[in-house]
Structure 1
Amino acid sequence: MRSDIIMGFLSVFKTALFLSALLSFISVTLALGQGQVVHKCPYDVWCAVVAGNVDTPVSWIQQAPGQLLISNFEDVASDEGIAMMCTRDPTAPTISVTQLEYTWTEPQTAFDISIVAGDPFLNEGFSMTATDLAPQPQFSSSCAGAYCAPGDVDCNDVYVKSNDDYQGMRTCSNDVIINLTLCSG
């Protein structure tokens, strides 16, 4: 009887150790960060979260003033590019978008703000913050925000052409919260 109790205890103990190791592995490989678009414009905007390449269909979501759009890193495969794009007119012949772009791979997230496809929020400005929640952020020198003042057509903090890596690209851990605020003034 006593040996049955000991064997039962050992079985439970082994299962607990296995589950603990599994949870540790998952927490190490899971990206907990997210991209956010905060809409502070006095008018509706249309936003979309697009994964993959440029041929991916876009499903625009109408956003009323004050709404928040969120993209969790854990919902996206590692090394897959994401564009959180917003426009004032999704029916225009050429759609002008401001977008937060990111890609995460262990242990970092690369991200930027792009106005390569137009700047629909030029008159109202926009800003980006990056809050790295990692216990010991290792990318602090390149984990920074951006600001484009109203009317700034040559904003130095963002991609204004496709090869602006020097001024536009940032890097943080996978636990970063990236926040793009439209019409930030």
Structure 2
Amino acid sequence: MRRVSIAVCGALILIPLTPTRPAAAAPPGMPTVVEAINELALLTVADEEHDDTYGRNLFPHWSTVSGTCNTREEVLKRDGQNVVVNDSCTAVSGTWVSPYDGGVWTAASDIDIDHMVALKEAWRSGAHAWSPAQRRAFANSLGDTQLWAVTDHVNQAKGDKDPSDWKPPLAGFHCDYARSWIDVKHDWQLTLQEEEKEALEEMLATCTPAG
């Protein structure tokens, strides 16, 4: 731990400094609170369908982005700090802060890349009617807030649940979580359920005016 020395009445005193906590990264394109509220109003409320026809292989993911780097590796580089990769584009060191729970990790193996709107949730909300190319694009989307670097066991606890069944452990992130969820569903023209909408409205109510 670093210390700073100060002189008090001629005596030199060492005071420990608390290390600066790295900030969690966020994907590009986060909507403002107002934008999220407007987008939520445009989403279609409907019952989910085709739950029993889902298969994860219907959404090819971690596609090659460039060279030897795939989508997962690109998100690890994007959202980490001081990330070092080897010749295969595998992250061998770095620091990642999970926005869902505030966990700080220095091993990429502790990080999952979460689909904000889970693939199965997307499937039963409209993606069952998409082409394979659309599903691949959704599963590897780097241009919106669909992909987040988060603590692995927190992501596993989330599974394919929507906000009416699961919310991030870090309450301070609920506003951003709702904004991202809404934006992804809006951009990809997915439906939502009534209880899901109510949960999102409750989460948006935690936002500060500045958003």
Tell me the TM-score normalized by structure 2: 0.26
If asked which structure has higher relative contact order (CA below 8 Å, sep 6+), I would say: 2
- Structure number having the greater strand percentage: 1
Structure of higher CA gyration radius: 1
- Structure number having the greater helix percentage: 2
